[in-house]
Chain A
Amino acid sequence: MNGREQEVLEAVERRRRRKPRLTDELITLAHGAGGKSSHVLVEALFLEELGNPLLSPLADAAVFTQGGSRLALTTDSYVVNPLFFPGGDIGELAVNGTVNDLAMMGARPLYLTAGFIIEEGFPTAELRRIAASMGTAARVAGVTVIAGDTKVVEREKGDGVYINTAGIGVLERELELSPTLVRPGDKILVSGTLGDHGMAVMVARGNLELEVELGSDTAPLAGLVAALLDATDGVRCLRDLTRGGLATVLNEIALAADVGIVIDESKLPVRPEVNGACEILGIDPLYVASEGKLMAIVATEAAAAAFAALASHELGIDTELVGEVRDEPPGLVLLETAFGGRRVVDMLVGDPLPRIC
């Protein structure tokens, strides 16, 4: 690489780190896809109007102290289409997704709220099925739904049902989990196969004419996190691998911690069926959502204990050590390809998988 190319790349990198500006006049589906456009929307619009020290880190949940307790609070809305898919439905997803956001801060999830926006004409039996599924998921996750709201909108003003859940949890350990604690040398673990949920929903829509058996991996991860945190105090940062997938999460961490991240393609756990479907559609499984997998960044000396703790839990049997944190290149994620080459893994632009959660 010559000097001029290096200069151009450095200019690009400086620009990439500048505070983003929202120049789009209208919201497009890309703003909801979890990639670059979503980030610009959140940072340049919502943080500008609503930013404060608890919100601005944009963690999975905000952590604050009240009455001597450290609490975690989060919210998430669910607009998945279709509402029922192999391996789960919108109700189960709405519980697990919010439970997992609390768990990623090291919190024990306690209570949820549930808000329903229902379209006129929606079958009562399906709504009962969704509510029952939420009840089961809440029992499994050890949380209780303690407040709720119901709104009905005119026909064609909604899409069946949308659900919002908020959750509160308590941090019972003296620990802090944050991307800013990540250091060169740390190891990166993922607790299982990537992209199962996203591809299952895509295939369930039925417009791809792919005949492949895929199921969502939606699951509550608080138990897995507790097992991990019991085993080691070397955990720096936890993230669930939802919208935007592993690639997006790693990019956020590389930028927040100003470190380089290198992952090994041959170590990435991906089901052959998911890999095949992605290959046909030209989608990279690194960007496809899971709803029951987490990524843990741990200190080198804690890696073995963390691996053992995750892999011995029923939700982490496919755990892999997929990469490590380096000094260079700061802010970038690199992939060592199985082929022996190397490439950048950037945040996703555009929207190959709309409305998967």
Chain B
Amino acid sequence: MRFVDEYRNGDVARRVVEEIAGLVEPGRQYKLMEVCGGHTHTIYKHGVENVLPPEVDLIHGPGCPVCVIPMGRVDDAIAIAERPNVVFTTFGDMLRVPGGNGSLLEAKARGADVRLVYSPLDALRIARENPELDIVFFAIGFETTTPSTALTLLRARAEGIRNFFVFANHVTIIPAIRAILTSPDLRLDGFIGPGHVSTVIGTRPYRFIAAEWGKPLVVAGFEPLDVLQSAYMILRQLAEGRCEVENQYTRVVREGGNQRALEAIAETMELRTTFEWRGLGFISQSALKLRPEFADWDAELRYDVPGVRVADPKACQCGEVLKGVIKPWECKVFGTACTPERPIGTCMVSSEGACAAYYNYGRFSRRLETVS
């Protein structure tokens, strides 16, 4: 594949790794957090961790959109899906996420009309084709997916489609990073910043991380060479005593972000005063709901959802994993009570979740490599 394979080139990777090794201060261990779940997936899928020098540790952050949805919201989704006359549409990743009362996949097996879509526009099409049914879209994700929900809402209004509803669970990345920075049990040397979120919000919103917290952040693309190069850029900043927001993903990300996407979001959605994040608890002004002008398309207003807060299972340590305080394998239930086929926590569900990525891709002894 042109324009993809170039960023997966093993020969170039070896040269970048040598450059990184050259920047390592003897005796120092570096902890870099990749905020975004897409990076976590890339890191495991291509085996980036095992080409990096052992002095560089990658800590997996809170940016997996599926992982941060609290159990109570999944229960709300199921309650909507199980109503008569409702077609509940969702991205595939959310199907297996356990709530307090099973998952959407189980609700589907019980008879709920749950359908997998790849885009909210697919849900809108179903609404157009089935005017007698209520079509609800389970809107999740960071600023990466929010614009597509916003544009779909604008189109629904423009076309006068009144049987399409959005169950909004969009979250914003900056409050999550702030929550990580204020977490007392974590010492980080720098951040690999989210690439696709930054295409929308640009690079300016990260400046406080360098200015107030003294941590470098490099916005990175999603191919393995992007991740390696951004690790190199962070270590170079540290070696040169600099602390800045840099952009590795210049082929996509602009400093000012995508103004039209931001306008579409602002036109359709507004900040919630607070929102619960799985494992991180309530974070103020960290999520979006529909504006009053879009009340007619708001699933939370259309349906009476339980809205009950469900505490995470006691054994689940998703919160500590999401904050990077523990590695997936350090969780008490990792791989035993909690597996991808029977997940307890969300981190084990999504392919972007740190636990699922580690379980599916990283679960082998690296000692073998030195032997073979």
Contacts and interface: CB of A to CB of B under 8 A. Distances in A.
B160 to A, nearest CB: 23
B125 to A, nearest CB: 9
A53 interface: no
B46 A341 contact: yes
A64 B371 CA distance: 43
B46 A346 contact: no
Contacts of A8: 329-330, 334-335
Nearest to A281: B118
Interface in A103-146: none
Given A30-B105, A279-B4, A350-B96, A340 B341 contact: no
B50 A341 contact: yes
B158 interface: no
B329 A346 contact: no
Interface string B158-179: 0000000000000000000000
Contacts of B369: 342
Interface stretch (B133-141, B211-219, B239-247, B359-367): B359-367
A76 B40 CA distance: 39
A339 B51 contact: yes
A340 B362 contact: no
Contact of B49 (A27, A40, A208, A341): A341
B363 A344 contact: yes
B357 to A, nearest CB: 9
B314 interface: no
Contacts of A281: 118
B110 interface: yes
Contacts of A341: 46-51, 224
A282 B96 CA distance: 17
B334 to A, nearest CB: 6
B8 A339 contact: yes
Contacts of B47: 337, 339-343
Given A282-B351, A328-B372, A344-B362, A26 B106 contact: yes
Interface in B1-27: 1, 4-5, 8-10, 13-14
A9 interface: yes
A36 B339 CA distance: 11
A50 interface: no
Query: What is the interface residue range for chain B against chain A?
Result: 35 or more
B45 interface: yes
A157 interface: no
B96 to A, nearest CB: 6
A4 B326 CA distance: 13
Interface in B284-330: 327, 329-330
B92 A344 contact: no
A339 B13 contact: yes
B342 interface: yes
A11 B335 contact: yes
Contacts of A328: 368, 371-372
A28 B109 contact: yes
B335 A12 contact: yes
16 contacts: A1-B366, A9-B364, A11-B335, A15-B336, A26-B109, A28-B106, A29-B105, A30-B105, A36-B341, A275-B1, A281-B118, A337-B46, A339-B9, A339-B51, A340-B14, A341-B49
Interface of A: 1, 4-6, 8-9, 11-12, 15, 23-30, 36-37, 40, 207-208, 272, 275-276, 279, 281-282, 326, 328-329, 332, 334, 337-344, 346, 349-350, 352
Given A28-B106, A339-B47, 17 more contacts: A1-B366, A6-B367, A15-B335, A15-B336, A28-B109, A37-B341, A40-B341, A329-B368, A334-B364, A337-B10, A337-B46, A338-B8, A341-B224, A342-B50, A349-B96, A349-B340, A350-B340
Kindly list the 5 A-B residue pairs having the minimum CB-CB distance in the complex, ordered from nearest: A341-B47, A12-B335, A340-B10, A26-B109, A343-B361
